[in-house]
Amino acid sequence: MAVENIVPKQRRPDQIIALDALTLRDRLAGGLLRPTDVAAAFVSQVRTREEEVQAFAAFDDGHVMAQAKHLDDMRKAGLPTGPLFGMPVALKDIIDTKGIPTENGTSIDAGRVPPADATVARKLKAAGAVIMGKTVTTELAFLNPGKTRNPVNPAHTPGGSSQGSAAAVGAGMVPLAVGTQTGGSVIRPAAYCGTVGYKPSFGAISRAGILMQSPTLDTVGLFAMSVEGVAMLGDALFGDDPADPATTPSAPPALLATTLSDVPVRPALAIVSQMPGDVAASEDMLLAMEELAGILGDDSFPLILPPMFDDAADIRERINFAEMAKCYYAYERRGRDQLSPVTLQAIDQGKAILARDYIAALDWPKLLNTALDEIFDRCDAIICPATPTSAPAGLSSTGSAAYNGLWTLCGVPVVTLPLFEDSGGMPMGLQVVGRRGNDARLLRTARWLMNEIKVTSGEMTDA
């Protein structure tokens, strides 16, 4: 009897949302779950958690269920299904979606409905995903917070700028979500909300149809509750796009297949407990890193990044602000009085940067990657705190991206793992950093590390 003719057992919504993304995908592909079953379960979870978390900028349960019903009908008709068949995915509200509002976190774009999909949205639809809605971003994907609250404790920030995407995954409202990072906008909220966050190598995923803040830095990033989940999503989104000159023709990455494979030898990990700059890690974070070093033992060694990395934060900011002044000129011209002081300050700083200094800053990623290549000759990955502390209390700030900007500047792939908790029970993330272009190997190492820590310590939960 054909799989599609078998009537699946009815499952409670809480059973469905508890499934990891890979299991969910496999059950959808095998006909054990219908797209409408899955969509209804996550719609129910949105209704349960959204009032508290406020992760969505645009959510239409009728549209969600209509997409799922269409996929049900496709299967019944025997039509081909894609690799993300029936998987709900939420998109940050700077990613254009045809017919769905994309307001970029600013009143200047209130009511804006794009006429076409961004490449990311188009690829998701082609893969059979269900677009769950648009998640809250900070104003123009910078630092002024949106309405979203931390799903672990709503009195704390969820981070930014991809705050809604991280919070939606952390609250179980979607299994997968897409965001962007220019400084720390994927890794930081993932760490604060207790999810896996993945910032691929620069240029791996097209940014066509996405609000551009900094062409040199902007990177599409992914959220899930597992490394396998972000690898699966990455497989659907990686690839060349003539509409984004940062992408280049390349072979399919086989992210998930590599992630699921066994490591050939136990990875060697370089531990950076204190990142460059003047932002010190909390005692909880330092204790967690010390405990981790003890668990890894001979598989790790301490690393202090060379002095040249001390200037990386200023260099990244210089590039970011100079390009932001150019990219956001139209917003300033149309509605300067509607922009927040923090956004205007960055734009005004960008205007004051000399062309000579901006052009010189563009040389730094290559220099820093040359130094990193020497480090990666000695190790499989660098591990370090994802943030100096857990999510700060209050909603007036998105927290510190001081430990993320270096890796964004260098364009290297980064995964944050929800391995730690602070003494108050709030999540803290561990960053795992790989060589530029070696995304699949990095994800495999991150999965190995996640499993190794769970087996060795029964999960590192209390620093």
pLDDT digits (tens, 9 = 90+) for 423-457: 999 999 999 999 999 999 999 999 999 999 886 66
Same domain, 159 and 29: yes
Same domain, 238 and 280: no
Concerning whether 161 is annotated as a catalytic residue, the answer is yes
Q: Are strands 130-135 and 88-92 parallel, antiparallel or unpaired?
A: parallel
Concerning whether 92 is annotated as a catalytic residue, the answer is yes
Per the domain annotation, does 462 fall within a domain? no
- Domains identified in the chain, total number: 2
Same domain, 330 and 220: no
Same domain, 290 and 250: no
The mean of the pLDDT values for the chain is 95
User: Which pLDDT value is given to residue 12?
Assistant: 73
Give the end of a domain, one of 212, 234, 260.
Answer: 260
Same domain, 190 and 50: yes
Could you tell me what percent of the chain has a pLDDT over 70? 96
Instruction: Given the residues 123, 125, 161, 162, select the one marked as catalytic.
Output: 161
Q: Are strands 196-199 and 130-135 parallel, antiparallel or unpaired?
A: unpaired
Same domain, 375 and 323: yes
Per the domain annotation, does 418 fall within a domain? yes
Q: Give residue-wise pLDDT tens across range 308-344.
A: 999 999 999 999 999 999 999 999 999 999 999 999 9
Same domain, 119 and 102: yes
Per the domain annotation, does 463 fall within a domain? no
Same domain, 317 and 235: no
Per the domain annotation, does 314 fall within a domain? yes
User: Which pLDDT value is given to residue 59?
Assistant: 98
pTM for the full predicted model: 0.96
Same domain, 86 and 22: yes
Give the end of a domain, one of 260, 277, 311.
Answer: 260
Per the domain annotation, does 239 fall within a domain? yes
Q: Give residue-wise pLDDT tens across range 29-81.
A: 999 999 999 999 999 999 999 999 999 999 999 999 999 999 999 999 999 99
Q: Give residue-wise pLDDT tens across range 146-156.
A: 999 999 999 99
Instruction: Given the residues 185, 214, 226, 300, select the one marked as catalytic.
Output: 185
Same domain, 389 and 437: yes
User: Range of 443's domain?
Assistant: 269-457
Give the end of a domain, one of 207, 228, 260.
Answer: 260
User: Which pLDDT value is given to residue 323?
Assistant: 98
Per the domain annotation, does 47 fall within a domain? yes
User: Which pLDDT value is given to residue 252?
Assistant: 87
> Tokens standing for 28?
């959808």
The CATH number given to whatever domain includes residue 330 is 3.90.1300.10
In 56-77, which positions are buried (b, 16+ CB within 10 angstroms) versus exposed (e)?
bbbbbbebbbebbeebbebbee
Which of 192, 191, 190, 253 lies closest to 223, judged by CA? 190
Per the domain annotation, does 146 fall within a domain? yes
| One-letter amino acid for residue 382 of the chain | I
Same domain, 55 and 118: yes
User: Which pLDDT value is given to residue 13?
Assistant: 78
Band (pLDDT 50/70/90 cuts) for residue 5 is very low
Concerning whether 185 is annotated as a catalytic residue, the answer is yes
In 115-131, which positions are buried (b, 16+ CB within 10 angstroms) versus exposed (e)?
eebbbbbbbbbebbbbb
Q: Give residue-wise pLDDT tens across range 372-420.
A: 999 999 999 999 999 999 999 999 999 999 999 999 999 999 999 999 9
Same domain, 108 and 138: yes
User: Which pLDDT value is given to residue 292?
Assistant: 96
